[in-house]
């Protein structure tokens, strides 16, 4: 059975550059609009359902939230639906900001 992996903040930029994953932000829309990773999509219910039904299961996915906890649950759900390469960003957007000093 497939499962998600955790991705360290220090490895994230290289991972994004090399793998070109679908990037999903599962924070609330207000915080997404205030700032998010480049090319990230806000994961709302319609997008989630569409990806589960029609998403490319072989495409890498990187999912993040505020601190890296809620994104683990979302990543696990995508893995359970058969997505092969799903990652949750350790430390979430807060960690990304601190690491990249945004």
Rounded to an integer, what distance in angstroms lies between the CA atom of residue 57 and that of residue 75?
A: 13
Inter-residue contact 93 to 36 (CB < 8 Å):
yes
The CA-to-CA distance between both ends of the chain, in Å, stands at: 37
Q: Which residues are catalytic?
A: 65
């Amino acid at each position: 059975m497939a499962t998600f992996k955790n991705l360290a903040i220090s490895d994230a930029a290289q991972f994004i550059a090399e793998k070109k994953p679908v990037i999903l932000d599962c924070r609330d829309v207000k915080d997404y609009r205030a700032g998010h990773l480049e090319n990230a999509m806000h994961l709302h219910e319609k997008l989630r359902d569409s990806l589960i039904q029609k998403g490319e299961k072989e495409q890498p996915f990187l999912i993040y939230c505020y601190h890296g906890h809620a994104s683990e649950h979302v990543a696990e759900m995508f893995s359970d639906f058969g997505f092969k390469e799903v990652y949750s960003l350790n430390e979430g957007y807060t960690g990304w900001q601190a690491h990249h000093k945004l």
